[in-house]
Amino acid sequence: MNFYEQWVELDLNPIISFSSLGKLTFSNHEAQFLLSRIKQKELYDLAVKYAPKTFGVETSYIDLNIENYTFYAITVKYEDEDEIHMKLYKSAMVKKDSQLSTKNTNITNIFTLVDLAISSKKIKSKAKYIKNYDPSIPEFKINANEFIKTLNLIYDAFEKNQIINTSVILKIGEYIKIEGKKYSIISVEISSPEKVNLDNFTYKDENASFIVAKTKEKISIDLPLITK
């Protein structure tokens, strides 16, 4: 791999190439995270939408939200009719300002809490629980009772599924802002490879210590990474 290829691979912004038929021909490491959350056809359609009217390069400034990403610009390039290239520019996203409560939080191992919730659900369910944990995540402040209660409600929304995925990850480039301070985000994402109907799932708690978000395919809990 030459210097140019390494530089593209290490770019913190998604870089993707498609053939004229919409087939993926290249994606850097960051783009692969994005492609795990959104269908590649949607990204191809996005590239076509913002492509220059004639051969060349065009950058458009946008306000685009895709899943948990926010992008402020897109560059699209094509020099022939065989291939089109795109680069999305990520915003350093601040998810919520000062509304989260840090009361009743204690330094806790999040993996222990997730395992506890899964163990309690396994007693009454035959579903297969698949876990994907980032072992580098340290212990941090969590309202354990509130977190487990909410996690159980989320698992209940997936009760008809045979396979339930749980990922605990550190979000790159996103922050939660509390009382003027920015904190990195630890996200617990629950999904299933099977069809799931989450229309009836609701969660409202103005005094929560985390943010619960729902899409068509998954539910996530975003927590501020407060270690002291």
Residue 196 belongs to a domain with what CATH number? 3.30.565.10
Q: Which residues of the chain have pLDDT under 70?
A: 67-68, 92-99, 206-207
| Model pLDDT, residue 98 | 47
Residue 59: which domain range? 3-91
Residues 219 and 193 in one domain: yes
Q: How many domains does the chain have?
A: 2
Give the tens place of pLDDT for each residue, 4-44: 888 888 888 999 999 999 999 999 988 887 887 788 999 99
- Region of 56 on the Ramachandran plot (φ > 0 left; ψ -120 to 50 alpha; else beta): left
Residues 201 and 174 in one domain: yes
| Model pLDDT, residue 67 | 64
Q: Which amino acid is at 123?
A: I
Give the tens place of pLDDT for each residue, 125-147: 889 999 999 999 999 999 999 99
Residues 82 and 175 in one domain: no
Q: Of 160, 158, 226, give the one whose Cα is nearest residue 189.
A: 158
Spatial CB neighbours of 195, under 8 Å, sequence gap ≥ 6: none
Q: How far apart are CA 33 and CA 90, in angstroms?
A: 13
Residue 50 belongs to a domain with what CATH number? 3.30.450.20
Residues 56 and 167 in one domain: no
71, 91, 111 - which closes a domain: 91
Return the residue matching tokens 């309202």.
143
